[in-house]
Amino acid sequence: MKPDDKSLFLEAMDDVKPLKNASCTTWQKPKPARTVAPVDVLQLDNFLTTGYLDIVPLDQPLEFKREGVQQGVLDKLRQGKYPQQANLNLLRMPVEQCRQKLFAFIHQAKQQGLRNVLIVHGKGREEKSHANIVRSYLARWLGEFEEVQAFCSALPHHGGSGACYVALKKSDAQRLDNWERHAKRSR
């Protein structure tokens, strides 16, 4: 420290009083993140269908894009460029339990304003294996959600063909916020 720096520092610290018990410092706990009360899924009608199922071949990657969604969104999703805000693990669960968990998960994600999630469903080595049955149902079920804009198989480090990325619609509040941000830029 230069002599003039030291004098400036001492002058700035002149009215500072030392703590009485400096060895015992306490820190304030950070405020908890705002949480949204979970949806009471038992009150909602689970519309996800079961019954006859077309098995998705193992060599066919899962992919879906709702009409009106730009191809660039699906491309970025496929490349894993959107951060995953939550994930759901459906490994080794019975089909009905997967159906219920997925229904609750998507509704909670919607309620919390999440946009991108990862669902791990597993991959089977045979066409009729349990993992491929769940994978095939998942491909059907995700398309039944109005909130799902697009989905596709994940990158290898996120589970590869045993997982999929899901892009959800923006909430009305997010849409308004986005509109306001872009409107300010164009002024």
Q: What are phi and psi of 109, to 5 degrees?
A: -60, -40
Is position 141 within any domain? yes
Q: Give me the pLDDT at residue 35, please.
A: 41
| CATH value at residue 152 | 3.30.1370.110
pLDDT tens for each residue of 35-80: 444 545 455 788 888 888 888 888 889 999 999 999 999 999 999 9
pLDDT tier for residue 124 given thresholds of 50, 70 and 90: confident
Q: Is residue 165 part of a domain?
A: yes
Going along 66-162, which residue ranges are E strands?
Answer: 86-89, 116-120, 148-153
- Report the percentage of the chain scoring pLDDT > 90: 49
| Domain presence at residue 97 | yes
* SS3 call for 177: helix
pLDDT of residue 27: 44
The range of the structural domain enclosing residue 71 comes to 64-170
The mean predicted confidence, pLDDT, of the chain is: 82
Is residue 121 in a domain? yes
> What's the domain count of the chain?
1
Contact in structure between 113 and 168 (CB atoms under 8 Å)? no
Bridge partners (DSSP) of residue 168 are 148
Number of helical (H) and strand (E) elements in the chain, helices listed first: 5, 5
Average pLDDT rounded to a whole number, residues 104-128:
90
Does some domain include residue 48?
Answer: no
Determine, yes or no, domain membership for 78. Answer: yes
Q: Is the pLDDT of residue 140 over 80?
A: yes
Asked whether residue 9 is assigned to any structural domain, the reply reads: no
Residue 105 inside a domain? The answer is yes
Q: Confirm if 149 and 169 have CB atoms less than 8 A apart.
A: yes
pLDDT for res 84 = 93
- Amino acid (1-letter code) at residue 3: P
